[in-house]
Structure formats: structure tokens, C-alpha cells
Structure 1
Amino acid sequence: MLLGLRQAAGAQEIYAGRYKAVFTSVPRKVPTSKTPDGPLAGNGDIGLTLGGNPDKLRFYLGKNDFWRAYPVYPGGGIALPGWLEIDIPALAGAGYYAEQIQDKAEIAARFTKGNLAVSVKTWVSATTNTVVVELGANEACSMQFALKAAEGNTSVNAEGNDAGTHWVTRSFENTPLLAWPSHVAMAVKVIGTKPESGGSVTLTPNSKVTLAVTIYSNHDAKNWKQKAITEAKTMTPATITRLQKDHQGWWAKYWGRSSVQIGDPFLEKYYYASQYLFGATSRAGKFAPGIWGPFITKDSAAWGGDYHLNYNYQAPYWAAYSSNHIDETDNFDKPLLDYMESGKRHAKELLGINGIYYPVGIGPMGLVTTRWPLTADEMEKRYASRENTIDGGLKFLGQKINAVFSVGNMLMRFYSTYDAAYARRVYPYMRECANFWEDYLKFENGRYVIYMDHYNEVMPNLKNKGQWRQLLGDFNSTLSVGLVKMLFKGMIDVSGFLNADQDRREKWEHIVKHMSQFTVREVDGKLSLKGVETSPSPIHSGVEGLARVSIHGLVLPGGVCGPVTDSAFNQVLLSDVGRWKDKMKGPGEWANTLGNGIETCFPAVVRVGYDSDEVMKQLTDRINRQSLPNLWITAEGGGIETLAAVPLTINEMMMQSYEGVIRIFPNWNRRKNARFDHLRAYGAFLVSSGLQEGKIGSVKMLSEAGRPCRIENPWPGHSVQLLRNGKKAEHLSGKVFSFETSRGERLELISH
């Protein structure tokens, strides 16, 4: 029998502990400008990537807040603070074995050569700015260690020693166009032995040597350098013991927030690995992660490691809402809010309208990361055009929708929590998006239409030889129509919740009601979606059927289509998904997600009702086709966005709520046992249930916000007993139940 998450007498089973990543060879993609393949650990701010050979180990240390705040990449973007080197000459040619232990959030390695065996355990403290490396050996051997700050790219470096604690710093400051300075300090102390001159240590049997590395930036503290040095100097064995206890406690709470069990060890492994990597990547109160999270192993990461706003920045968070990891999404909004004044200026200066208009890429603290090259010569070299003043010198790439993309995440969190403080925080941003689109939309022939907002990025490049303007002119892109409809539906809901802008709701309701319909055409006797209504671009006008970009507007994050919203149109989408197999040339190519879109396409087709067994098969093939030993599923065009793919796909099979109705096992083979605990539904409900031998057990819910509940009858044709706080209450019947709830009320549905 499948067991759920157990909490009794202080004991807790962490189901994620059944799975770990295993490495039997040296990482090959460390360092890299994209996704590393080595063992990973992190605390949502600091990321540790283990690279190197057994005799020359390299612990690369990235940090979400260490940026070269320069508006052009390469050169600008997130930067590498540095690394810890550990050289053990006796391990030259040794065997390599390491584990990424995800429930404990640590890396455990063992390197063997002949009779010599050296063990290494490392973890990034979940509660402090500390990285711990513990080493032991069964035979005496020498070890050399050094802490290094990355150099170059206009950085200024320094190093020193303070009473046996070695420290290094790296700074970006006082260079042209730098938006703000960044400084980082790292300090290391050896615990368990006294190092010899030059950082030499002897490992001996039955003893342990610990290296504690503290890392602080000027965004952490004004006294960033001294803080790193002081904390390292005062490290003791007792300090490490306390940090480890706090670390394990944090991760135990993280895993306790939700769980799923589906009887498929392969997909469960990637489910929990993705949850682990996201927990290691993002944290409340810290800078939001860029494309590669904190797992930075060199400067000039691809796309500057920035916040790419036409889905890459938003996608990593999508599974966190239903997985009940709300705290880890709390850093999402700040970069968007910080850029608002610039966004208003772009809208006025470039389009002559109100609201906010965002380029394709931004960074933290109001930074723009996507300026065209600063010289015409460099522009020509990279883009086959000397015109580096397009759109005021910034990359909008023909898309007006970038700011609205993020409203999807804001609405996911709002509907999932009904948190008034959060709604007040993001409402000004949403309202500025509404201001923009009220001005930009055209009302023609009884409908609102969208000109010149493009299905894909349109820009000069080496292929079109500067003739890119011939591709401009998309009319009613599915992406634009869907996201704008999402925006105004959300404005109605959030403004009503906050009792704000009552005088504007009539206009917003008119837009939602009269927004252009999605364009369809007949293909092989069946209706099929078109990517755009019309376009001069053969690429855009030739997009037929449901695809990743359309899904963004319609289903995820758009949420304006589905089996409840419009069952007839939903059948069009299902028919399109049925054609995906026809386009495959080999395993793993279903939905065309090798480049981008695994986190979009797979959960979306679950939402619209495509066969769950087929989705799981195709998802397994896709993972096998393109993933790394650290269980990070890779895509050519992005990094941490893929961490949402498996969790959200499975969560949507277990429970759905995005159309305002909670559905239990809405798209799951009822012959397969499964269980989920504490998944978060819209309406701020935490929901748990199980399926055993074809029968759904009781459905338990906690109402966090006291919202009305609408839930599809999990037992069609049967009446249901509702229990409130353990006591019998209403009898319910029908296809969909609706009942009021109270804040903090525990509810249970039991079939008669």
C-alpha cells in the first residue's frame, strides 16, 4: 500500500529521500556558460557546483546577487565570485563516485586509488552564508587548498590573511555604464587541524578536516568584507554542528510542505530532483535567480544569466505554487517592480502611451541587460546590421507582451493564497500593465485587436542580413490575445478583492468579453489552431496547431482556456496535440521541446485532458534524450525553467484548480495507485487525497483564507458527506459542489 507523508510524534518520512543523483565519472561540463553537469547544492542564494578531478577538486561558488551591472552581454550579467580548490596529488587517476543527496541537501563523494580512500561531504547552509566541506581519509595523505576569486572582465581583486583565515574579494565598480557596484568577499577557515604554510593539510585516519567558507556581498551587508572574515574566523566545531542541525531542519520543513507518489520511480526521481534544485535556487529575501540560477561557473553566462521576460524568468516558479512552496516564489516580483519607472519611460518615449513597456531582458535593481551592442561595428559583427539604435537601443524584439508575461505568475500566487498584502504589493504593476493595454488595444468591428505584437522574437541576425523589418506585422498573435485576456480577467478579480478601481471594471469587463477569438482553420477535416490571425512572416503565418508559444497565451500561464472554460475549443486543442506524434523523427521529440518548452507543453496538455499514460511515456523519453547526471533536465535555450516541468505535469495529473474548480485526479489512469499530500489549489486550499485499487479515498482540505470552495465530485453519481473540523456537516450531491469555508477550517469529503 502506498503511504503518504507521515507526521506523528515529531517523526517525518521524507519521501524525497528515496532518490538521489549518482555520479561515477568526472563532470564534463564544469565550468560552462550554461547548465553544469556536476553535483549541485545551494541555499537559494549561494550555489555550489562540484567540478574537477579527484586530485584537483574545484568547488565553484555562485551567488544570485553578484552581478556585473552592465547593460550588454556578453560581459554584463551575473558573474562568478570564485571557487575553492582542493588538490590531493595521491588521488591522481582515482575512481570517481559522488552522490547528490537531495533530502539532506548535501553532496557526498568518495574517491579511491589502490588502498587509499578519501571521503568528501559538502553542503551549503540553508540558513547562513556558509559552505562547509568535510574531508576524511583511511590513510595519511597531503592536501593543498586555496580560495580563489575569479578575475578579469574589469573586476578588481584583493586577498589577504587575517589570523589564519584566508580571504579574497572581487569587485565591479567605477567603469562606464555600470548601473551599480557589486562586491563579494569569501573567507575560509580550516577546522580540525592547523594548516601548514601555503594551505597544506595532512589528512589522517580516524579524523576529519573541515573547511568553512563564508560568502557575503555588498547586497547582503554594508560591511560585507569584514562580515565574511569575522564569521569565518569564529567558526568552531560547535558552530558547524549547529549550522548542520538548522540546515537539516530547514530542508525537512521544505519537504514537508507537499509530496506525491505515483508508482513510477523514474518520474518520481525527477519530480523530487527538480523540487530539490528549485529549493537550492530560489529563496525569499534573496535576489531572484537568473536563467542558470546560482550555479554559475564562469563569467559571461549565456544570455548574461539575466531575467528573460518572455517566459524564461517566469517558468521556474510555475510548479512552486501548486507544490506549496510559496516562500520560494517571494523574490519573483521585486525585479519587476524595480523596473517600473524605466518601463513607464519606455512606453512614453517609444510608443507615446501610458503604462509599462519592458524589453526582453532585465536584471535586479532596475538594471536593463539587453541593450544592443554599443558600437555599429560590433552590431554588424553580431547581427548583420549597423543599426544599434533600434527601439532606443534596447531589445524589445517586436514584442509588447513582456511585462504582462509576469502577471501570470502574480495571478497564480494570488489565486493560490488570496494574500491581501501580496495583492497590494503587485497590484500597481498589474494596473500599469492594464494602462498600457487599454491604450494599445484597438477596438474594430466589435472586437479588440492587437497589431504589431509578435508571436516570436523578430530581430536582425546573420541569417536575414538586416532584412528583419519585412517580418514585422503580426496581427492577433495567440500569445498576445491570450495573455491580454488573462491580464484583464485578473484585474477584475484582484481589484474586486482589494476594492480598488471600481470605476474601471466596466472597461475591463468589456475588453474580456470582446477580446478577439483565437484563430482556427481546417486541417484534414478538423479545426486546428493558428499561431497568428495574419502575419507577413512565413514562419509566424505558417504556425499551425497548438505549440509552445500559443500555450503561453492560452493555457500556461494564460489560463484562459480549458475543458471548463470552453469544452468545444478544448477539443480543438486536444486534436492538435494528437498530431504531435506525426512530427516526431525519434524518441524525445514529442512537443518539440528539445530547444525550449518542456515546462510548458507537458503540463499544459495534462490540463486540456490529453491521455496521462501517453504524456508520462513521452516525458520519460524526453528526459532520457536530454538530461544530466545531476538530474537537471536540459534545454538548448534555457536553464532553471525546466525545473518546473516534471513537478507541474504530475501535480496537474493529481489535482487541478486553474479554472476555479478543484478536480481530484482529473487526468490520471485510475488503475494506477497514487497519492498526493498538501498540494495547493486556487482559493488557498491545501488538498490531500489518494487513489487505491481504482477508488479515490477521502479528500482532505485546509482552507487557509476562508474562501468559497467549488470542487468537482470525486465520486460521480454518489452523494458525499462533508466533515468540518472532524464533525459531520452537509450532505453534498451533484456534479460540482459549492460550499462556504472559514479561515483555518479543516474539511474532509467522504463518499457514501
Structure 2
Amino acid sequence: DQYHQQVSNSLFSATQFVAYYEYTQDENWLRTKGYPFLSQVARFFEHWLERDAGGTYALWGGPHEGTWGKNSSPDLGMLKQVLTAAVSGSRKLNVDADRRAVWQNILTNLPAQPTTTLNGRTVYSLASAMRGADTRLIRPGDNTINLEFIQPADQLGVNSDAGRLQVARDTVTAMNSWGQENSFPKIFNQAARVGYPADQLIDRFTSVISTRTAPNLRITDPHHGIEKSGATEAINSMLVQSDASVISLFPVWPAAKDASFYQLRQKGAFVVSSAKVAGKVPYVDVRSEAGGTLRLKNPWSTAFTVTDAAGNAVPYTTPGGVITIETTAGQTYRMNPA
């Protein structure tokens, strides 16, 4: 029965609706379950936001429980995700054209993720301004709420602007929240999503796991349970990521360490398998569950081939170093160095 001044509860739920559709492309689910919920969340924020004379919107909420902040970083990032999905879903389903225009206008006029300065470096903050007893814009050692716009909101990833990625990596370092209880399901994944140095990330992950694992393999603390499983996503994100409509292989992996993964689902309903041996990628298999355009960052500096399951050559292009294939639903594609 405690509100905690957090309007982010619906947004947190919405992140999972967005992700489910992005990774499955299940249009029937979008029509019957996903879009109806996302559109209601978007409608609430139409009425919650404040708009200044210049047309810019502001969002008030509690980044930490019981706090109050202008342009709360997690709320802002997740709202951008929801509005983007609502606009896309409205267009896909050909519904709510009037609302779509409103949502796009809000999305266009939301502020950038807030930042502050800590020890001479620009870092991502909890909000653009805080009110109440604790007005700190960043809380090193605490829950990495200020990075929730990265994950689960997917507003920054390995293919994003290099300057913003460096600010994010500096924020991860400044927070130093590797062992913080609430952060265990998040910080390792957030770090992987912004290209944090792989060796450092693995060392910190290993340290927490080795000191906090119970006999039943659960990471222990006095307050939490199943949410600790969230950190498994960090390993997946080190092996393969989808960002800005491009799939990247081994984006955060030590150059000298071999690895392989099997059937990890990526955005666009692509199911990917690959390996890295002696610094080279010997193959990539991709099953396209929904068809559409596959974009894969080219892992080879030399020639390669693309074939279907029957061994037939498949046409492709490589704009900007991205292997681009128009896929057919249900088809598997194999890429190998020539």
C-alpha cells in the first residue's frame, strides 16, 4: 500500500511487453495483448507529463523509492522505449493514427538522458534535478537505477554513439556497484550492453559469484530471490547482442578466449548460433522465424559465403560492413569464411 512516488511500475512491466514482441515478432500477440497494454501506458503519460513553453516535456517520478526527481533517468528511458513501441505497433496494426501522432510528438520532444559530473567525468545521473532529503544526482555504490535506461529500456547499446558509450562505461566504473544487492541482476548486463572491458567485467562477475553462491546455486542476500537469475543475460550479451537493428557477435569477449553459443534469440526473431576459435569465427547459423531483413555485423575481413539449409547460395549485400539478407520465415542461413 506504499506508492513510493514511482510511476515507473507500469513502465517496468512494459519493458517485457516490448522485448517479447521485438524478439518474437508475434503479430497476433501484439494485436491481442502487447499493443493494448502499451497503448494504455502511453495514454497515462500523455496526461502525466509537463510541457514547457518551448514544447519540451518533463517527467517527474521517484528513481529511488520515496525520492522525487525531474526527468528521472529510468522513467525517461523506459518511456522512450514504450512510446517508440506504441508508435511502431500503431503503424503495424494500422490503428490509433491520431494517438500515434501525439506519441511521436512527445517522443521527439523528450529531453536527453540526464548527466552530471563526478570527479571530473561526465556520468549518467538519477535525474536532472532531485528534491527531498537526498538531492544527490548520483549515488556511487548504490543500485544502478541511473543505468536502467540502458537495460531494460534498450536506449543505449554497443552500436550507439561512441561518446555516449564512454559516458556509460565511466558511469559503471563510478558506480562501482558490482556487489550491491539490487544491482546483481542489472549491472553486469548494463556493462555488457555498453561494451565495458571484457576482462574487467568477467573478473567482477566471477568475484561476486564465487563469494555469494549458495549450495542451491542461488546468489544470496537477505532480501531477494528469483530476480538474481537476471544476471544470466549478462553472459548472453557478452556473446551476442542486437542493437540498432544489427546483430553483433562476441561484442564483449576477451580476444584470446574461445567461446561458443547455441540458439540465442535476437531481435527480429532471429535465433543465432556461432563460435569463436583462436580469435576467428568459423561459422554463423541464423534461423529466421518471422522473415524480414537480417543485419549481422561482418565478423570477417576476407571473403565469405551465405547458404541456405540445402546449401544453395543466398544473395546478400554488405553496406557499411553489415551482412544484410532478406530472409524467409522458417529458413536457416549459414555463413562461413571462404
TM-score normalised to structure 2 length: 0.92
Checking the alignment, whether the CA contact within 8 Å between 1:532 and 1:541 is kept in structure 2 is no
Residue equivalent to 2:34: 426
Residue equivalent to 1:506: 101
Checking the alignment, whether the CA contact within 8 Å between 2:156 and 2:193 is kept in structure 1 is no
Cα drift, residue 572 of structure 1:
0.5
**Cα separation, 1, equivalents of 2:95 and 2:323:** 30
Q: Structure 1 or 2: larger helix share?
A: 2
Checking the alignment, whether the CA contact within 8 Å between 2:143 and 2:183 is kept in structure 1 is no
Residue equivalent to 2:177: 591
Cα drift, residue 614 of structure 1:
1.2
- Cα gap change, 1:489 to 1:637, in 2 (>3 Å): farther
SS in 1 for 2:90: helix
Checking the alignment, whether the CA contact within 8 Å between 2:291 and 2:328 is kept in structure 1 is yes
**Cα separation, 2, equivalents of 1:515 and 1:635:** 37
- Cα gap change, 1:397 to 1:522, in 2 (>3 Å): closer
**Cα separation, 2, equivalents of 1:566 and 1:635:** 36
Aligned length: 333
Counterpart amino acid of residue 321 in structure 2: K
Aligned mate of 2:278, from 693, 697, 701:
693
Cα drift, residue 547 of structure 1:
5.4
- Cα gap change, 1:710 to 1:610, in 2 (>3 Å): same
**Cα separation, 1, equivalents of 2:68 and 2:183:** 25
SS in 2 for 1:619: helix
SS in 2 for 1:656: strand
Whether 1:439 and 2:52 are equivalent positions in the alignment is no
Q: How does 1:22-61 map to 2 (within 5 A)?
A: none
Whether 1:623 and 2:219 are equivalent positions in the alignment is no
Checking the alignment, whether the CA contact within 8 Å between 2:69 and 2:130 is kept in structure 1 is yes
**Cα separation, 2, equivalents of 1:619 and 1:577:** 13
SS in 2 for 1:711: strand
Counterpart amino acid of residue 188 in structure 2: F
Residue equivalent to 1:416: 23
SS in 1 for 2:64: coil
SS in 2 for 1:604: helix
Residue equivalent to 1:457: 65
Checking the alignment, whether the CA contact within 8 Å between 2:138 and 2:146 is kept in structure 1 is no
Q: How does 1:121-160 map to 2 (within 5 A)?
A: none
Whether 1:720 and 2:323 are equivalent positions in the alignment is no
**Cα separation, 2, equivalents of 1:557 and 1:605:** 12
SS in 2 for 1:701: strand
Whether 1:684 and 2:274 are equivalent positions in the alignment is no
**Cα separation, 2, equivalents of 1:718 and 1:544:** 47
**Cα separation, 1, equivalents of 2:35 and 2:192:** 30
**Cα separation, 1, equivalents of 2:303 and 2:15:** 36
RMSD of the alignment, in Å?
1.9
Q: How does 1:289-368 map to 2 (within 5 A)?
A: none
**Cα separation, 2, equivalents of 1:443 and 1:398:** 20
Q: How does 1:533-612 map to 2 (within 5 A)?
A: 533-543=128-138, 548-552=144-148, 554-580=149-175, 590-612=176-198
- Cα gap change, 1:504 to 1:568, in 2 (>3 Å): same
Checking the alignment, whether the CA contact within 8 Å between 2:288 and 2:331 is kept in structure 1 is yes
**Cα separation, 2, equivalents of 1:707 and 1:649:** 27
SS in 1 for 2:323: strand
Counterpart amino acid of residue 603 in structure 1: N
TM-score normalised to structure 1 length: 0.43
Residue by residue over 1:509-547, the C-alpha shift from the partner in whole angstroms, topping out at 9 and shown as x without a partner, is: 222222111222233332122211111235353425795
Residue by residue over 1:641-693, the C-alpha shift from the partner in whole angstroms, topping out at 9 and shown as x without a partner, is: 01121x21110011001432111111111211111010001000110001111
Residue equivalent to 1:492: 87
**Cα separation, 2, equivalents of 1:742 and 1:511:** 35
Q: How does 1:47-446 map to 2 (within 5 A)?
A: 371=1, 395-424=2-31, 425-444=33-52, 445-446=54-55
Checking the alignment, whether the CA contact within 8 Å between 1:708 and 1:741 is kept in structure 2 is yes
Checking the alignment, whether the CA contact within 8 Å between 1:721 and 1:732 is kept in structure 2 is no
Counterpart amino acid of residue 705 in structure 1: A
Whether 1:526 and 2:135 are equivalent positions in the alignment is no
Residue by residue over 1:179-230, the C-alpha shift from the partner in whole angstroms, topping out at 9 and shown as x without a partner, is: xxxxxxxxxxxxxxxxxxxxxxxxxxxxxxxxxxxxxxxxxxxxxxxxxxxx
SS in 1 for 2:268: coil
Whether 1:730 and 2:338 are equivalent positions in the alignment is no
**Cα separation, 1, equivalents of 2:196 and 2:133:** 29
Counterpart amino acid of residue 145 in structure 2: V
**Cα separation, 2, equivalents of 1:572 and 1:544:** 16
**Structure 1, unpaired ranges of 5+:** 1-370, 372-394, 459-471, 581-589
- Cα gap change, 1:592 to 1:695, in 2 (>3 Å): closer
SS in 2 for 1:436: helix
Counterpart amino acid of residue 504 in structure 1: R
Q: Structure 1 or 2: larger strand share?
A: 1
Residue by residue over 1:447-494, the C-alpha shift from the partner in whole angstroms, topping out at 9 and shown as x without a partner, is: 21012x111111xxxxxxxxxxxxx64211101111111110111222
- Cα gap change, 1:578 to 1:397, in 2 (>3 Å): closer
- Cα gap change, 1:544 to 1:624, in 2 (>3 Å): same
**Cα separation, 1, equivalents of 2:108 and 2:143:** 25
Checking the alignment, whether the CA contact within 8 Å between 2:282 and 2:336 is kept in structure 1 is yes
Residue equivalent to 1:751: 337
Counterpart amino acid of residue 563 in structure 1: V
User: Larger Rg: 1 or 2?
Assistant: 1
Whether 1:649 and 2:256 are equivalent positions in the alignment is no
Give the percent of matched residue pairs that are identical in Structure 1 and Structure 2. Answer: 28
- Cα gap change, 1:563 to 1:535, in 2 (>3 Å): same
Residue by residue over 1:697-722, the C-alpha shift from the partner in whole angstroms, topping out at 9 and shown as x without a partner, is: 1110000001211111112x334322
**Structure 2, unpaired ranges of 5+:** none
SS in 1 for 2:306: strand
Cα drift, residue 605 of structure 1:
0.3
Checking the alignment, whether the CA contact within 8 Å between 1:722 and 1:732 is kept in structure 2 is no
**Cα separation, 2, equivalents of 1:681 and 1:622:** 27
